[in-house]
């Protein structure tokens, strides 16, 4: 501001100075010329009188003091000249001042000399004898006059600059001070700024519009954030430089960055190289769909460029957690392979026996053995198929099954009694324990559950305890009510313990997997399918129940299922 005012003042001052200079010099120059001519007239009259009285001797010893005096006869020849030898001078009859003096008695003229820098002023007078006396003097040209004045002009310019600077700072302060004091938050309330009134009104109306737009944008942002926040998928919006415009909670957790990285460059913020490559490629206009592993989870990343006016203005990146889906697919593949494998063995056996019988290769006394094998294998297949159907029902959704209040002790009692024949066959004793008194079963043992699943838990655990026991061993099943002082939660705990062969520690973590067996041949021998504990695991999960396994090889196994009571 000060600079602009200073420049304006200087420009005006310079223009004024130049105009004054031209005017003053013009006037001065004319004035000096007039004064000089007047002086010259007097000098000419004096010289004329001198020559009239003394003739040529007048010039002897004459101190001309810068003047040049020329005496010219009637024919124009120079009789005497104070500066040049008359013999070297040309005829002067045609000189303007001489001509005029001859005509009217007195003549004057002003001429530029050869140098152009100087002007000569001439004054001539006709004397009584017809000769003409001429006096001339040199006059400075206007340029010389200017150079003569250059020093004062320089001082004037310096003074002018100083004054302009001072004035500029004063004026700018005067102009800026009220502007600085303007209350732009309330533009219409400013006083003493009449000149700025239209400007203030404009600011006021624009501020109103901005406020409305701000509220509108705020609302949209809130809506957008509310929608994206609750999304389980990660959403990330980038501008064309890769700066974060928006990132939802899920995306920030997946990428391990703060939710408040808006404005920062994602390529700098994120440490996941593979993701950075995807984002970079999307910003370059590529559509990317890729599954990458981040923190031991699989994410499908869909990255798309965003176009505005045919130019890439940013990118949108979506993250889908496909870990479970991938695992489920993997499990399904393994399951199918296992099922085919498990079915193949009894089918081969059945087909082999049937072929032998069909071709009458079997001796009549052995026929029973073969048909019995066919029956056993068919039974095994049926058990297997039943287990598979049961598991796939659980997979499809045990949660949808009908829940009811069930007493775990009652279910255990029913199930255990259905296995008593099997226990007897295996020479294993079965004991159902209950506290405090078995006949006085209270609601403490009840849970909100699915009767069929609870029954299958008791059945499979008890059956395993019988199957993997030793002759003369025992199985005890207990149902207890427990209360946790810390969490104030109630539990119904089912425990199935046996005195059987036990499970080696390295197998304990895996026996709940489908088709996993510690000793495959032993399992088959006792009619196992490898699916019993998987069914237990799924059924327990459907009740939010926790399974704990304790087993010592040769010392027996104890499996505890802890059901949250009343839920």
Q: Which residues bind ligand ADP (CB under 6 A)?
A: 460, 464-465, 468, 498, 500-503, 511, 516-519, 523, 528-534, 557
List all residues 6 or more positions away from 363 whose beta carbon is below 8 Å from its beta carbon: none
Q: Which two tokens stand for residue 93?
A: 């009859």
Minimum distance from residue 401 beta carbon to ligand ADP (Å): 21
Give the residue with the Cβ less far from ligand ADP, 131 or 557.
557
Nearer to ligand ADP, 266 or 479 (CB): 479
- Would you say 277 or 470 has its CB closer to ligand ADP? 470
Q: State how beta strands 68-72 and 404-407 pair.
A: unpaired
- Is residue 184 within 8 Å of 198, Cβ to Cβ? no
- Residue-by-residue DSSP string for 498-552: E-S----HHHHTTTTSTT--SSHHHHHHTT--S-HHHHHHHHHHHTT-EEEEEEE
Looking at the DSSP bridge assignments, the partners of residue 26 are: none
Least distance in Å: CB of 304 to ligand ADP?
Answer: 46
CB of 532 to ligand ADP, least distance (A): 3
Q: Give phi and psi for 105, each to the nearest 5.
A: 100, -25
3-state DSSP assignment of residue 84:
coil
Residue number with CB closer to ligand ADP (123 or 415): 415
Q: How far is the CB of 473 from ligand ADP (least distance, A)?
A: 10
- Shorter beta-carbon distance to ligand ADP: residue 44 or 558: 558
Residue 145 near residue 26 (C-beta atoms within 8 A): no
* Shortest Å distance, C-beta 498 to ligand ADP: 5
Of 67 and 515, nearer to ligand ADP (C-beta) is 515
Cβ-based nearer residue to ligand ADP, 278 or 412:
412
Nearer Cβ to ligand ADP (186/548): 548
- Min separation Cβ 415 and ligand ADP, Å: 15
SS3 labels along 228-289: HHCCCCEEEEEECCCEEEEECHHHHHHHCCCCCCCCCEHHHHCCCHHHHHHHHHHHCCCCEE
How far is Cα 316 from Cα 235, in angstroms, rounded to an integer?
A: 7
Which residue's CB is nearer to ligand ADP, number 455 or number 557?
Answer: 557
- Least spacing, CB of residue 535 vs ligand ADP, in Å: 8
Q: Which is nearer to ligand ADP, 191 or 471 (CB)?
A: 471
Of 466, 376, 379, the C-alpha closest to 415 is 466
Instruction: Indicate the Cα dihedral angle 234, 235, 240, 244, nearest 10°.
Output: -80
Q: What is the rounded distance in angstroms from the CA atom of residue 453 to the CA atom of residue 445?
A: 16
Number of other residues whose CB lies within 10 A of the CB of residue 550? 15
Q: What letter does residue 117 receive in the DSSP assignment?
A: S
C-beta separation of 130 from 117 below 8 A: no
CA distance 101 to 104: 5
**Residue 469: CB minimum distance to ligand ADP, A:** 7
In the complex, minimum distance from the CB of residue 452 to ligand ADP, in angstroms, rounded to a whole number: 17
How far is residue 537's CA from residue 553's CA, in Å, rounded to a whole number? Answer: 22
Nearer to ligand ADP (CB atom), residue 134 or residue 380: 380
**CB 388, min distance to ligand ADP, A:** 12
Total residue length of the chain: 567
Smallest distance from ligand ADP to CB 464, Å: 3
Residue 332 φ/ψ region, left for φ over 0, alpha for ψ in the -120 to 50 degree band, beta for the rest:
alpha
């Amino acid at each position: 501001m000060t600079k602009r005012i200073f420049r304006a003042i200087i420009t005006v001052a310079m223009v004024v100075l130049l105009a004054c200079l031209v005017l003053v010099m013009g006037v001065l120059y004319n004035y000096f010329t007039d004064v000089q001519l007047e002086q010259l007239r007097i000098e000419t009259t004096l010289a004329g009188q001198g020559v009239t009285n003394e003739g040529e001797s007048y010039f002897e010893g004459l101190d001309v003091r810068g003047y040049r005096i020329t005496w010219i006869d009637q024919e124009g020849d120079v009789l005497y000249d104070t500066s040049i030898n008359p013999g070297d001078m040309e005829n002067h009859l045609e000189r303007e001042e001489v001509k005029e003096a001859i005509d009217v008695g007195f003549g004057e003229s002003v001429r530029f000399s050869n140098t152009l820098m100087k002007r000569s002023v001439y004054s001539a007078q006709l004397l009584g004898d017809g000769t003409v006396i001429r006096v001339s003097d040199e006059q400075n040209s206007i340029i010389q006059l200017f150079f003569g004045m250059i020093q004062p002009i320089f001082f004037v310019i310096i003074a002018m600059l100083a004054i302009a600077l001072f004035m500029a700072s004063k004026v700018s302060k005067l102009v800026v001070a009220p502007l600085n004091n303007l209350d732009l938050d309330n533009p219409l309330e400013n006083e003493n700024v009449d000149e700025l009134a239209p400007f203030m009104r404009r600011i006021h109306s624009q501020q109103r519009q901005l406020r409305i737009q701000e509220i509108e944008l705020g609302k949209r942002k809130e809506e957008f954030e509310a929608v994206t926040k609750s999304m389980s998928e990660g959403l990330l919006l980038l501008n064309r430089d890769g700066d974060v415009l928006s990132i939802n909670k899920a995306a920030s957790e997946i990428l391990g960055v703060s939710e408040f990285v808006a404005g920062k460059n994602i390529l700098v913020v994120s440490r996941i190289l593979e993701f950075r490559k995807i984002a970079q490629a999307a910003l370059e206009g590529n559509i990317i769909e890729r599954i990458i592993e981040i923190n031991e989870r699989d994410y499908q990343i869909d990255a798309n460029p965003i176009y505005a006016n045919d130019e890439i203005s940013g990118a949108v990146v979506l993250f889908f957690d496909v870990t479970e889906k991938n695992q489920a697919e993997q499990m399904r593949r393994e399951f199918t392979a296992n099922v085919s494998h498990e079915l193949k063995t009894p089918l081969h056996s059945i087909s082999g026996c049937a072929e032998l019988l069909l071709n009458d290769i079997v001796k009549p006394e052995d026929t029973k053995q073969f048909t019995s094998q066919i029956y056993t294998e068919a039974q095994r297949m049926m058990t297997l198929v039943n287990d598979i159907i049961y598991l796939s029902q659980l997979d499809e959704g045990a949660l949808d099954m009908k829940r009811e209040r069930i007493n775990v002790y009652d279910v255990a009692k029913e199930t255990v009694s259905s296995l008593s024949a099997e226990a007897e066959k295996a020479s294993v004793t079965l004991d159902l324990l209950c506290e405090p008194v078995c006949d006085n079963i209270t609601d403490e043992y009840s849970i909100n559950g699915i009767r069929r699943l609870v029954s299958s838990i008791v059945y499979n655990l008890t059956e395993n305890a019988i199957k993997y026991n030793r002759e003369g061993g025992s199985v005890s099943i207990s149902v207890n009510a427990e209360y946790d002082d810390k969490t104030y939660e109630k539990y119904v705990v089912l425990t199935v313990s046996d005195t059987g062969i036990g499970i080696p520690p390295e197998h304990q973590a895996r026996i709940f997997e489908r088709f996993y067996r510690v000793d495959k041949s032993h399992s088959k021998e006792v009619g196992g399918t490898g699916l019993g504990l998987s069914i237990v695991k799924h059924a327990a999960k459907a009740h939010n129940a926790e399974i704990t396994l304790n087993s010592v090889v040769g010392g027996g196994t104890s499996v505890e299922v802890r059901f949250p009571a009343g839920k």
